[in-house]
């Protein structure tokens, strides 16, 4: 069974540009989560999508946004990039039955975003 996949592996952008990161969840998983892992700051929750809807977001500005497609894959968009957006962006998926989570998030390898 294929795991969570993310693309691209690395992304280099300049300040002010936009970045688009993509994630494909494990087959059958309907929930996708995005996290930012910046150096020295640990993992910080960004966004949670389930069944195409944004269910929750972390303490990040609105220039961090995303969407989930009908096939449950997801896209994270970061507008007006700032130097401090440089980080590893991790996507995770889990299996939900209605409102109940399996409490087992499976993570992808991440996209390393560098803003210069």
Partner 1 sequence: AQSVTQLDSHVSVSEGTPVLLRCNYSSSYSPSLFWYVQHPNKGLQLLLKYTSAATLVKGINGFEAEFKKSETSFHLTKPSAHMSDAAEYFCGNFNKFYFGSGTKLNVKP
Binding site for partner 1 (CB under 8 A): 33, 35, 42-45, 48, 56, 58, 90, 92, 101, 103-110
Cα separation, 83 vs 19, in Å, equals 13
Nearer to partner 1, 57 or 67 (CB): 57
Q: How many CB atoms lie within 10 A of CB 36?
A: 23
CA 92-82-79 angle, 5° bins: 65
Nearer to partner 1, 17 or 101 (CB): 101
Rounded to the nearest whole angstrom, what is the least distance from the CB of residue 15 to partner 1 in the complex? 27
Rounded to the nearest whole angstrom, what is the least distance from the CB of residue 108 to partner 1 in the complex? 6
Q: How many CB atoms lie within 10 A of CB 22?
A: 17
Q: How many CB atoms lie within 10 A of CB 92?
A: 22
Rounded to the nearest whole angstrom, what is the least distance from the CB of residue 14 to partner 1 in the complex? 26
Nearer to partner 1, 33 or 81 (CB): 33
């Amino acid at each position: 069974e294929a795991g969570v996949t993310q693309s691209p592996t690395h992304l280099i952008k300049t300040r002010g540009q936009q970045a688009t990161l993509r994630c494909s969840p494990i087959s059958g998983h309907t929930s996708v989560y995005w996290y930012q892992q910046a150096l020295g700051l640990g993992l910080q929750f960004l966004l949670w999508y389930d069944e195409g809807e944004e269910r929750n977001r972390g303490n990040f500005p609105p220039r961090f946004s995303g969407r989930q497609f009908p096939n449950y894959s997801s896209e994270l968009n970061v507008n007006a990039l700032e130097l401090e957006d440089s980080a590893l962006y991790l996507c995770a998926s889990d299996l939900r039955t209605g409102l109940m989570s399996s409490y087992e998030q499976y993570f992808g390898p991440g996209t390393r975003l560098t803003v210069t």
